[in-house]
Structure 1
């Protein structure tokens, strides 16, 4: 799970076969879901489970993630 989810962060699918990218628009710490929109168009609002959002593309054992979403850019970048 991510250490700090903030509005403005961009995530991509960990599955290399998918092209899903989204931007976080709202998140309240402690909530199970973050509100997101398409990263390119800003459309298609939806909610994503925060336990599927990761800061690194690798697992604790060093294997590439195959599911979930990986942080691309942070809100302050």
Structure 2
């Protein structure tokens, strides 16, 4: 399932929250680089969002880690990556 990744979207971590106290959330802050041959191809700039809403730890992650839902096409729960929380 492919979905459009846009700046401002918030995703939540699908993995075990250990060693963190609350689930990890990230926010997309840059446009995805989808043009072959450009630096960062297939990646997007994100920041970690804390429980208070503070944005920390800016970095690039693979677009393949961002999912529209927390289930696969077959209905199984995903165990890795990030699921869309807020469009």
TM-score normalised by length of structure 1: 0.84
In our comparison, the structure showing a higher alpha carbon Rg is 2
The one of 10, 34, 40 aligned to 2:44: 34
Runs of 5+ in structure 2 lacking a partner?
18-22, 35-40
Aligned twin of 1:24: 28
Aligned twin of 1:10: 10
SS in 2 for 1:56: coil
TM-score normalised by length of structure 2: 0.76
Moved over 3 A (4+): none
RMSD, matched Cα: 1.4
Judge conservation of contact 1:2–1:53 (CA < 8 Å) in 2: no
Number of aligned pairs?
73
The one of 74, 78, 83 aligned to 1:61: 74
